[in-house]
Every structure is written in structure tokens, then in C-alpha cells.
């Protein structure tokens, strides 16, 4: 009997978030579950940023055991897979849905939704809905609670992180031309444009300890350059007060994981880097993707309700909440940053505890495979 095959459909909405999640998922399904996976991508140049060896104009290519297919427009007929993942509500091609409905043996159709800590997610996870053809589609929600599908986490990820010792850290940083500055707090900044950033940079520059800020090439760099009053390109550095800034190149996912492990504090955005920062077991600051009517703030508060518990003393909890809320509500960051620094040691331990708590749950790829087996 041939191995089952899975189709994953991805439309690139926010540069790297959607493709980042689906590329990690596809690789894990192949490497750890022995599946044949086709990843359909509508914007290959974004994929190339994550997988530099890929080609931006190839209709079909293979990388790390995954078949990468250009999502054609208009759609060209393709054999339907036994398991079909519609990532983040990207809407399958109508001709593909019709081909699914015409099969003698049904495929499992999954809508892999966005990550959320909102309580209602658990009640919707795994529920079916019916398409216009009468075909059942199941909602599958990643999440932080036992009644959800869990988070992406490869086998051995935390062991590899723990083996990333001081010598490995220095070698990795030097590969990015980063030389550790004695006594400095090493911070990574991967965020959207944010009106709060100048006040945070100013607070770091005038703060009580030296800070080495690593800024991967991306959206936040424009705000950094504006605050500096000079344009920094990849590899260039600048210093203001106690703040040293260095621009890093955009790196593949495995190297971004190592960057998160190497830093003492990570500011991240979206979904993929958000989850990877949690597996780093380091203190973090999440820049949630903005939505109309500030719907994103409800999602932020739902996560904070979970994340700020985990045994945190009230003063440290208040410092964490204050920093995250200021960052995501475009408020001044100076006072919240100072309060966070005052509780830094407690928040370092909290990040480790949260990571261990989440790692005790089933990972997303395994949960998907288990759902398919139970459905058969």
C-alpha cells in the first residue's frame, strides 16, 4: 500500500506568517510521519525567503521531501489527495472542491485556522461544516489549551535548544557577524511598524544596562532608521547611549530559531515567530497582527490571561501585562520597559515554565495525523 498523501494549500497574506507555518508543518509531516505532502503556494518569492535553495518560478520542485507546487491561476486539474488542508481559510479552488465531491472515496477536508487562545476555540475545534456541495469540512484550531490542536513543535526541538550551549551560541552569532558586547542584554526585534518603537528605543538607550539590539531585515527597520536619523542596511551598526543596534539579514527558519535561542529577550510578530519564541523559553514580547475594529486586542488579552498566570507573582505579572499592552496599543514604552527590567529574573523563569507546560501537550502535526486516523 502506498503512503497516504496530503495537500496543503497556502495563500501568502502577511509576507511570511502563513507560508512559515505551512512550510514547517509540511516538513514535519514528511520527516516524522512518513507522509507524502504537496504544498501549494500562490506566491513563491515569499517561500524562497524561507527556503533560499527554492526557485521563485518553478511550477513544481522538491525541498526536504516536500513537493512544492505553484498554485496556478486559473487552476489546472490535479489529482485530489486523501487529506486536504485549507490553511487559514484560503479557499480551495472551486474545481478542486468539485473533484473532491466527485470521488468515490471521500477525502478529509480540514480548515487549519489561525492560532488563538480565546476560550470559544475549544468548542469549535474538530467540528464539521458543510460546503455548498454538501461536503463536510472540519475546523482544526491550533491552541494553548488541551481542547485544541496544540502548537507546531518538531521532535527533539527542545533537546536541540538545550544543547545550544554558550560555545554554540557564540559560533552562531559570529556567523551573523555579531560580536557579543560585555554585559549587554541581547534583544531581537522582529515586528510590524509600530508607533511605540521610538519610545522603547529611547528607553533602551537611556536605560540602566547596555542593550545589544539585533534587527532582522523587515518591516520594523524603517522605524528604527527613522529614530536613528540614518539608514542602516544589512550588516551595519549604530550606537545611541547604552543601545547598540545591528541589522541582520533575513535568515532561514532554522537559523531564526537559533537567533531566538541566542537572545535574552525576543520581540516577535504574527504567528510563526510567536510560537518559535515560546519554544525558545526566553522572555518575549508579541506584536499581534492588527485587525479592523481592534478585534486583535481581544485575542491578545485572551493569550495574556493564560500566559501571565503560570505562577507569576502579582508585581511581575503587572510588569509583563503593562509592557505587552503598551506595545500593542501604541503607548509610551519607557515606564513599562523599566518595570519589566525590574522583574527580569522572575520573568526569565516564567518563560521556561510556560514553555515546559506547553511542551507537555500534543504537537499540532501529530494531532492532525491522529485526527485523520480517528476519522478513517
| Helices and strands, counts by H and E, the chain | 15, 14
Strand 237-240, strand 243-248: pairing: antiparallel
Q: What is the pLDDT of residue 135?
A: 87
CB 20 within 8 A of CB 272: yes
Q: In the 8-state DSSP scheme, what is residue 107?
A: P
Choosing from 86, 113, 223, 271, the catalytic residue is 271
CA R_g for the chain: 21
What pLDDT is stored for residue 14 in this prediction? Answer: 66
Instruction: State yes or no: cis peptide before 74, omega within 30 of 0.
Output: yes
The secondary element (H helix, E strand) that includes residue 337 is: helix 334-342
Query: Which pLDDT tens digits describe the chain residue by residue (376 residues)?
Result: 355 599 999 999 766 779 999 999 999 999 999 999 999 999 999 999 999 999 999 999 999 999 999 999 999 999 999 999 999 999 999 999 999 999 999 999 999 999 999 999 999 999 999 877 778 999 999 999 999 999 999 999 999 999 999 999 999 999 999 999 999 999 999 999 999 999 999 999 999 999 999 999 999 999 999 999 999 999 999 999 999 999 999 999 999 999 999 999 999 998 999 999 999 999 999 999 888 888 899 999 999 999 998 789 999 999 999 999 999 999 999 999 999 999 999 999 999 999 999 999 999 999 999 999 999 8
Give the pairing type, strands 265-269 and 243-248: unpaired
Question: Which pTM was predicted?
Answer: 0.96
CA distances from 155 to 151, 366, 367 (A): 12, 10, 13
Q: Quick check: 45 and 56 in contact, CB under 8 A?
A: yes
Written as nine digits, the cell of 250 is 533575513
Closest C-alpha to 250, from 91, 52, 67, 40: 52
Residue 166, C-beta contacts closer than 8 angstroms, at least 6 positions apart: none
What's the grid cell of residue 75?
487552476
Q: Is 271 a catalytic residue?
A: yes
Name the catalytic one among 7, 18, 86, 363.
18
Q: CA 176, CA 207: separation in Å to the nearest integer?
A: 26
Is 18 catalytic? The answer is yes
State the pLDDT at residue 1: 38
Structure-block grid coordinates of residue 125: 475545534
At residue 133, the pLDDT reads 72
- Confidence (pLDDT) at 134: 75
**Dihedral of CA 330/331/332/337: which sign?**
negative
Amino acid at each position: 500500500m502506498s503512503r497516504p498523501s496530503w495537500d496543503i494549500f497556502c495563500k501568502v497574506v502577511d509576507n511570511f506568517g502563513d507560508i512559515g507555518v505551512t512550510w514547517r508543518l509540511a516538513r514535519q509531516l514528511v520527516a516524522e510521519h512518513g507522509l507524502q505532502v504537496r504544498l501549494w503556494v500562490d506566491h513563491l518569492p515569499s517561500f524562497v525567503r524561507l527556503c533560499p535553495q527554492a526557485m521563485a518560478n518553478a511550477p513544481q520542485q522538491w525541498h526536504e521531501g516536500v513537493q512544492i507546487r505553484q498554485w496556478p491561476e486559473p487552476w489546472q486539474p490535479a489529482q485530489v489527495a486523501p487529506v486536504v488542508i485549507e490553511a487559514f481559510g484560503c479557499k480551495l479552488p472551486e474545481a478542486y472542491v468539485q473533484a473532491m465531491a466527485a470521488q468515490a472515496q471521500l477525502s478529509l477536508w480540514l480548515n487549519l485556522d489561525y492560532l488563538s487562545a480565546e476560550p470559544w476555540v475549544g468548542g469549535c475545534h474538530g467540528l464539521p461544516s458543510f460546503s455548498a456541495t454538501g461536503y463536510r469540512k472540519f475546523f482544526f484550531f491550533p491552541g494553548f489549551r488541551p481542547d485544541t490542536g496544540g502548537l507546531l513543535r518538531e521532535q527533539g526541538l527542545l533537546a536541540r535548544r538545550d544543547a545550544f550551549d554558550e560555545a554554540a551560541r557564540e559560533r552562531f552569532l559570529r556567523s551573523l557577524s555579531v560580536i557579543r558586547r560585555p554585559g549587554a542584554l541581547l534583544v531581537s526585534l522582529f515586528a510590524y511598524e509600530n508607533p511605540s518603537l521610538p519610545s522603547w528605543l529611547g528607553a533602551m538607550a537611556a536605560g540602566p544596562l547596555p542593550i545589544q539590539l539585533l534587527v532582522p531585515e523587515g518591516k520594523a527597520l524603517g522605524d528604527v532608521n527613522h529614530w536613528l536619523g540614518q539608514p542602516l542596511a544589512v550588516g551595519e551598526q549604530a550606537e545611541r547611549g547604552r543601545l547598540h543596534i545591528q541589522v541582520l539579514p533575513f535568515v532561514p527558519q532554522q537559523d531564526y530559531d537559533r537567533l531566538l535561542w541566542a537572545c535574552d529577550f525576543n520581540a516577535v510578530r504574527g504567528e510563526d515567530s510567536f510560537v518559535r519564541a515560546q519554544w525558545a523559553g526566553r522572555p518575549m514580547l508579541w506584536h499581534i497582527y492588527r485587525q479592523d475594529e481592534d478585534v486583535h486586542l481581544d485575542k491578545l488579552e485572551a493569550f495574556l490571561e493564560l500566559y501571565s498566570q503560570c505562577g507569576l507573582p502579582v508585581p511581575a505579572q503587572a510588569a509583563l501585562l503593562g509592557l505587552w499592552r503598551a506595545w500593542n496599543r501604541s503607548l509610551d514604552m519607557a515606564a513599562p520597559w523599566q518595570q519589566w527590567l525590574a522583574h527580569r529574573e522572575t520573568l526569565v523563569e516564567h518563560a521556561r515554565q510556560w514553555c515546559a507546560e506547553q511542551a507537555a501537550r500534543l504537537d499540532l502535526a501529530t494531532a492532525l495525523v491522529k485526527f485523520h486516523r480517528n476519522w478513517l
